[in-house]
Amino acid sequence: MRTKVIAGNWKMNKDLSESAELINGLKSKLATMPNGVKAIVCPPFVSLALAKELLKGSPIELGAQNMYFEDEGAFTGEVSAKMLKSVGCKYVILGHSERRQYFKESDEFINTKAKKTLASGLIPIICVGETLQEREKNITNQVVTTQVAGCLKGISAFDIEKSIIAYEPVWAIGTGKVATPQQAQDVHKLIRGLIAQLYGPATAEKVVIQYGGSVKPDNAKELMHQPDIDGALVGGACLKADSFAAIVLAAA
């Protein structure tokens, strides 16, 4: 049985005091984690050090929303793997559709960052997913196949087993339009099949594939009980302790 992994992507929300309030709320609601479930919070960079302090002794883990692949130097505004590790991060979201859309991140760029993440001992949460236009053109499978192949290029089977893939149909992100459990399962199965082709079935069975896109407490259970859906990447509903905790508990 694969672990169910629920990650909360706070995006550009919550200042320092709001971050503390949310983390304290989550700590009290998720003082113990159900068996076989992991919960990760990914606050903005400026709240990570505080989050690390507040999460001491809590089973909730810490991740970041992005990272640059160089170690250090003249890269204004960027943050390295070493920096993220120093503030207690274990995970990094890479290639979120908002980064692809607003910051023009390509599969190749995401791949370079994923390799650096893994070489640094961090776990990447690599996001893929089609736009509404692509779904309507019936090219979802092609788009996702290209993204998975591009993002995973040159990554070893050993590293892939540790990595997390998040399937996030762009049309479902922040729109309230959730994919049906069957639509999501179909693409998750495709992704697991691609990993099996690239790395063999034993490796594919171990990889955690999250669904993301308008996951809420009332739809989480059905989605996460699909055979190839191993958790959720949550945006809007992770900004309140009640709803994020409810999604985590729905995974049990």
212 vs 231, beta carbon nearer ligand PEP: 212
Provide the binding-site residues for ligand PEP, judged by CB under 6 A: 9, 168, 173-174, 212-215, 233-237
Q: Are 207 and 192 in contact (CB under 8 A)?
A: yes
Active site residue 96: yes
| Annotated catalytic residue, options 96, 98, 130, 134 | 96
163 vs 204, beta carbon nearer ligand PEP: 163
What single letter denotes the amino acid at residue 194?
Answer: L
What are the residues facing 188 on neighbouring strands?
A: none
Burial group, residue 151, by CB count within 10 angstroms (0-12, 13-18, 19+): buried
Q: CB count, 10 Å around CB of 34?
A: 15
Give which of 48, 4, 18, 11 is closest to 209, Cα–Cα. Answer: 4
CB of 97 to ligand PEP, least distance (A): 7
Active site residue 188: no
Instruction: Evaluate the CA torsion angle 238, 104, 186, 1 in order and state its sign.
Output: negative
CB of 51 to ligand PEP, least distance (A): 18
Which tokens in the block code for residue 65?
């929303």
118 vs 220, beta carbon nearer ligand PEP: 220
| C-alpha span between 232 and 220 (Å, rounded) | 8
43 vs 236, beta carbon nearer ligand PEP: 236
What are the percentages of helix, strand and coil residues in the chain, rounded to 5?
50, 15, 35
The two beta strands, 208-212 and 231-234, are: parallel
CB of 86 to ligand PEP, least distance (A): 25
CB of 198 to ligand PEP, least distance (A): 24
Which tokens in the block code for residue 111?
């791949």
Which tokens in the block code for residue 144?
């996702």
| Annotated catalytic residue, options 61, 98, 168, 188 | 168
DSSP 1: -
Q: Tell me the residue number closest to ligand PEP, measured at CB.
A: 235
9 vs 111, beta carbon nearer ligand PEP: 9
CB of 45 to ligand PEP, least distance (A): 17
Which tokens in the block code for residue 128?
């893929």
Show which residues are catalytic: 96, 168
